[in-house]
Amino acid sequence: MRIVFLIGMLAALAGCSSYRDVTFLYYPNAPPSDTFPPASAFYAEASRECAKYGMKAVHNWDNYTFDYERVRVNYLCVQ
């Protein structure tokens, strides 16, 4: 029984310290929308999402795809 409890606790702790990130996928040529933040507000939105877990947002990478003319912006949540 102790081994089952130990494995359960280790699994719970591993889940709490897992990798968190915030990703935005947008089309630069699309008309502005009230439901989606503009590209200039991505960092502020990512900071709010990471703050829910007591973390800070750090810009990780941008991915430009030419087939669908879309951009993916990724922010990591770090301690």
Mean pLDDT of 41-69: 88
Contact, 75 vs 46, CB < 8 A? yes
Closest to 58 measured CA to CA, from 76, 40, 41: 76
Tell me, yes or no, whether 26 lies in a domain.
yes
C-alpha distances in angstroms, 54 versus 16, 20, 57, 78?
Answer: 12, 11, 10, 9
CA distances from 11 to 14, 31, 62, 69 (A): 5, 45, 32, 40
The tens digit of pLDDT for each residue in 7-50 reads: 766 665 555 556 788 988 888 888 888 887 787 889 999 999 99
* Residue 33, pLDDT score: 81
pTM: 0.67
Structural domain contains residue 8: no
Q: Judge whether 64 lies within some domain.
A: yes
Specify the higher pLDDT residue, 27 or 57: 57
Domain count within the chain: 1
Q: Is residue 61 part of a domain?
A: yes
Provide the pLDDT for residue 5: 67
Tell me the residue range of the domain where 46 lies: 19-78
